[in-house]
Structure 1
């Protein structure tokens, strides 16, 4: 079974969060932005949404798959008590802190931009993802430890065998299609704080674990057939996006979503499974950046939109502002102030600080 550090999975997590930032910035330039609580530019960039419709169907599911994979690797080093404590510190603590402190900040910026009375409003906002993960860990961890204990049993052998076929990994789409049939969401990409987002994430988290659990069979298959998955996804996206969209539906979109994700896993495994200094830095930074990015994004919109620039310049300006300021906050505040580190999902360096003080004494 797989035990080594998987740099390709780290890269996919970093890329997915980076795309999430760009996706959220693009919403500002859509006519319907205010309906979902975003600051809206008076000058729309409707064409900007066209590539976003491709990202829509796999960016969040990919993160749930990666989270399930991450839990498998974490189980290699911890028992169930240690894992509950570790996940509580890394996910539950930032989630609760974020609801109380971080998400109200971007709502205050929203109120200020539209000259509304300022009020404190704790809410999940974009951190709903973390809340889902907490539930998945609590519900699935007993099953995962049972599977880990019996990973050489019939179930493990069967999963490994299924994953050797090109359509093996893609066969999980049947479960996602079943979810569509049962939940019947209004839109496939409506994930935040919906039952569709919850159950879709549950399936992705579960199968992310199973993919790694199946061993090398999965990775060899997605590496071999990665371009087939990308072609399948591209064809289904073209059908969804063009005048043939009438023959598309959310059941087919489930296949498209998983095809993109499997193709990305294959590309990552083939080309990005190697260490680098840049990846080490970004892997540590990406989680706190995800937590703070909405506040920074709204602040950028507050400063740049009133300048009345060309909308494309506004988009570029807010994008640069968001990425630069997020990483500056991470580098010079969140990373360096010990008490803030665990609140943003970073390891608490309390022991190292104590050791340094003892050495001085």
Structure 2
């Protein structure tokens, strides 16, 4: 068996924590943009912003892949401190209660306003009556071509996928153990120099071709391309989390990653403008090479994010420890706040710039307010992905260890 070369003293990566926080904050702004963009979403502004789809494509190809990578890395720090059984128990306890709570409490308001805006028949405006139909799946809320299935998880697909990948990882660890970790040593040895940029890019090119056959659905049992891509990113993050040579490699190649991502984004943005949502799709002779361009933006942005993060965001701070615990509750509530606020702000007829600014401010303010409330109420903490407070002395666990444990959430 190949001995592990992972540095045992690497117990936390503040840069990965910062990247995770910033990526989730970017996601919040992205969902505000979805309110104004042309793509289908739960509620829509009556005043669509021309070109918003091209703006959204600045982060759409890489943001969630990066989040799965960072989540895999955070899981590695947990896995190296506990047994497989303890890891499985911790992941279930961390992810299942928020998932259940979201489906039963947080997501229904999103569906309620989606029904009001989009359903052709029947429209139920009395929320208690709507909620009973939501839970029982008897709403029969339909548009011309499809019907809404309830209960549903909407944006919580990310958490359900993360739970599935965590359980799959537990199986791999139970079967392979150190042999699985040794794959990280192989990656460290192989991904040296230019290979760190080129080889994963070529792998992503192959993976992204699958989207031509298997479009993203965000449904757990019918999302083959997304599963292959996201679980690969999750496992890759797990394997390289403690590799200092690879961390330094991302730092060295960060500008090359940016140089790869920016022109690729320009091409993707133009493609999105030239073949907008709802129009006839581009010919295959264009769609196939655009998957390569998409992969270039995807991997180039990830290399840049990991490299600039390791170079400039490598220090712990009280702000980081606060945000790294807050980010999962933020994720849970942000879309509901955006949907409810967006629908009701649109009714006021405000200046669109003012309306969009208010929507961003209300969403972030609601997220902070929610976190400040739930973190102080012990019975609510598990439902928002936070550990219950225990009576043991505060000094029993060092602050950085608590923050790293929390970082292994969504």
Q: TM-score of the superposition, structure 2-length normalised? A: 0.77
Equivalent pair of 1:65/1:208 in contact (CA under 8 Å): yes
Equivalent pair of 2:255/2:304 in contact (CA under 8 Å): yes
Is residue 181 from structure 1 mapped to residue 209 from structure 2 by the alignment? yes
Residue in 2 aligned with 1:11?
A: 18
Shift of 1:280: 1.3
Tell me which of 309, 328, 331 is aligned to 1:287: 328
> Any residues of structure 2 matched to 1:141-156 within 5 Å, and which?
141-144=170-173, 149-150=178-179, 155-156=183-184
Cα deviation, 1:55-94, whole Å, max 9, x if unaligned, reads 1101111111111111111112111011001000111221
Counting helix residues as a fraction of each chain, which structure ranks higher? 1
Tell me which of 153, 156, 170 is aligned to 1:124: 153
> Any residues of structure 2 matched to 1:143-292 within 5 Å, and which?
143-144=172-173, 149-150=178-179, 155-168=183-196, 170-185=198-213, 190=216, 192-193=218-219, 194-212=223-241, 215-242=243-270, 246=286, 248-292=289-333
Give the distance between the partners of 1:308 and 1:241, measured in 2 at CA.
30
Root mean square deviation of aligned Cα: 2.5
Equivalent pair of 2:15/2:315 in contact (CA under 8 Å): yes
Residue in 2 aligned with 1:137?
A: 166
Tell me which of 20, 26, 44 is aligned to 2:27: 20
SS in structure 2 at match of 1:309: coil
Cα deviation, 1:73-121, whole Å, max 9, x if unaligned, reads 1112111011001000111221122222221122224345679304233
Shift of 1:350: 4.3
Alignment gaps of 5+ in structure 1: 354-361
Tell me which of 376, 390, 404 is aligned to 1:336: 376
Tell me which of 35, 60, 70 is aligned to 2:74: 70
Residue in 1 aligned with 2:87?
A: 83
Give the distance between the partners of 1:26 and 1:221, measured in 2 at CA.
34
Change (3 A) 1:191 1:312: farther
Q: After superposing the two structures, state which structure 1 stretch, 56-65 or 198-207, moved more.
A: 198-207
Tell me which of 376, 380, 388 is aligned to 1:348: 388
Give the distance between the partners of 1:27 and 1:263, measured in 2 at CA.
25
Give the distance between the partners of 2:315 and 2:201, measured in 1 at CA.
29
Shift of 1:305: 1.3
Change (3 A) 1:344 1:308: same
SS in structure 1 at match of 2:379: helix
Equivalent pair of 2:267/2:293 in contact (CA under 8 Å): no
Count of residue pairs brought into register by the alignment: 345
Q: After superposing the two structures, state which structure 1 stretch, 169-178 or 293-302, moved more.
A: 169-178
Change (3 A) 1:205 1:191: farther
Give the distance between the partners of 1:221 and 1:83, measured in 2 at CA.
30
Tell me which of 44, 49, 56 is aligned to 1:52: 56
Shift of 1:302: 3.2
Give the distance between the partners of 2:271 and 2:335, measured in 1 at CA.
35
Residue in 2 aligned with 1:326?
A: 367
Residue in 2 aligned with 1:356?
A: none
Q: After superposing the two structures, state which structure 1 stretch, 248-257 or 289-298, moved more.
A: 248-257
Q: TM-score of the superposition, structure 1-length normalised? A: 0.87
Cα deviation, 1:232-281, whole Å, max 9, x if unaligned, reads 11122223233798484113312320110111000000000101121111
Cα deviation, 1:37-59, whole Å, max 9, x if unaligned, reads x2111112123333211111011
Cα deviation, 1:324-353, whole Å, max 9, x if unaligned, reads 011112112x11111110011001114469
